Structure 1
Amino acid sequence: MRVSTGKKMILATLLFLAFQSPVGAQSEVRELTIGLLPEMNVFRQMARFRPLGEYLTQETGLAIHFTILSRYGNLVESFERDAMDGAFFGSFTGALAIEQLGVVPLARPVNLDGESTYHGLIYTRKDSGIRDVADMRGKRFAFVEKATTAGYVYPLAYLQERGVDDIGSYFAEYFFAGSHDATIYAVLEGKADLGASKNSVFDWVSSRDPRIAEEIEVLAFSGKVPSNGLCVRADLDTEVKDRLKQALLNLHETSEGREVLEKFHALRFIETAVDDYQPVFHWAERAGIDLKHYQYVNQ
Structure 2
Amino acid sequence: MVMPMQKTTLLAPILLATLAFAGCHGAEDDINLADTGVIKLAFLPKDTDQDPEKDPQRLAAWIEEQTGIKTEIYPIDSDGAAIEALRFDRAHAAFFDGAAAWIGWKSYGLEAIAADQKGDGRTYYNAQAWIRADSPIQDFADLKGTDSCHTGLLKSAGMFMPMGYLIKEGHAEVVGDPDDINSLVGTVDAFFGTPTIPEKGQEFAGYDGALKCISVGHGDVAFIRDSTWDDYCGKTDAPDWCLDKSAYRQLPAFGQVPSHPVMVSPHLDATSRDLLRGALLALNDSPEGQSILEEVLETPGITGVTTEEHLGTWSENLEHVPGVKAHFMAKHKISTA
TM range (shorter): 0.5 to 0.7
Task: Give the alignment partner of residue 123 of structure 1, picking from 123, 130, 143.
Answer: 130
Task: Give the alignment partner of residue 250 of structure 2, picking from 210, 219, 230.
Answer: 219
Alignment-derived partner of residue 104 in structure 1: 111
Q: Give the number of aligned pairs.
A: 244
2:193 pairs with 1:186: no
Alignment-derived partner of residue 88 in structure 1: 96
Superposed CA deviations along residues 246-291 of structure 1, whole A, max 9, x for unmatched, are 332111111232355567553x423233332333343345x46798
Whether the 8 Å CA contact 1:76–1:100 is kept in 2: the answer is: no
Q: Distance in 1 between matches of 2:134 and 2:58?
A: 46
2:209 pairs with 1:199: no
Equivalent residue of 1:32, what SS? Answer: strand
Give the CA deviation at 1:98: 0.5
Alignment-derived partner of residue 316 in structure 2: 282
Q: Distance in 2 between matches of 1:128 and 1:110?
A: 35
Alignment of 1:40-55 (within 5 A): 51=54, 53=56, 55=58
One-letter identity of the residue aligned with 2:308: D
Whether the 8 Å CA contact 1:53–1:65 is kept in 2: the answer is: no
Equivalent residue of 1:295, what SS? Answer: helix
Give me the TM-score of the superposition, normalised by structure 1: 0.56
Q: Distance in 1 between matches of 2:207 and 2:166?
A: 19
Equivalent residue of 1:214, what SS? Answer: coil
Task: Give the alignment partner of residue 272 of structure 1, picking from 305, 320, 330.
Answer: 305
Whether the 8 Å CA contact 1:104–1:234 is kept in 2: the answer is: yes
The structure having more radius of gyration, on CA atoms, is 1
Alignment-derived partner of residue 22 in structure 1: none
Alignment-derived partner of residue 163 in structure 1: 171
Equivalent residue of 1:163, what SS? Answer: coil
Q: Distance in 2 between matches of 1:77 and 1:137?
A: 43
2:282 pairs with 1:254: no
Superposed CA deviations along residues 198-238 of structure 1, whole A, max 9, x for unmatched, are 43677556677733993484533234465431224557999
Percent of pairs with identical residues: 16
Q: Distance in 2 between matches of 1:201 and 1:262?
A: 23
Equivalent residue of 1:56, what SS? Answer: helix
Q: Any gaps of 5 or more consecutive residues in structure 2?
A: 1-37, 46-50, 64-70, 174-186, 332-337
Equivalent residue of 2:114, what SS? Answer: strand
Superposed CA deviations along residues 92-111 of structure 1, whole A, max 9, x for unmatched, are 54233211233332311355
Whether the 8 Å CA contact 1:56–1:247 is kept in 2: the answer is: no
Considering fraction of residues, name the structure with more strand.
1
Alignment-derived partner of residue 295 in structure 1: 326
CA 140–231 in structure 1, closer or farther in 2 if over 3 Å, else same:
same
Considering fraction of residues, name the structure with more helix.
1
Q: Any gaps of 5 or more consecutive residues in structure 1?
A: 1-27, 36-46, 70-74
Give the CA deviation at 1:86: 2.8
Task: Give the alignment partner of residue 238 of structure 2, picking from 201, 206, 210.
Answer: 210
One-letter identity of the residue aligned with 2:317: W
Q: Distance in 2 between matches of 1:62 and 1:128?
A: 58
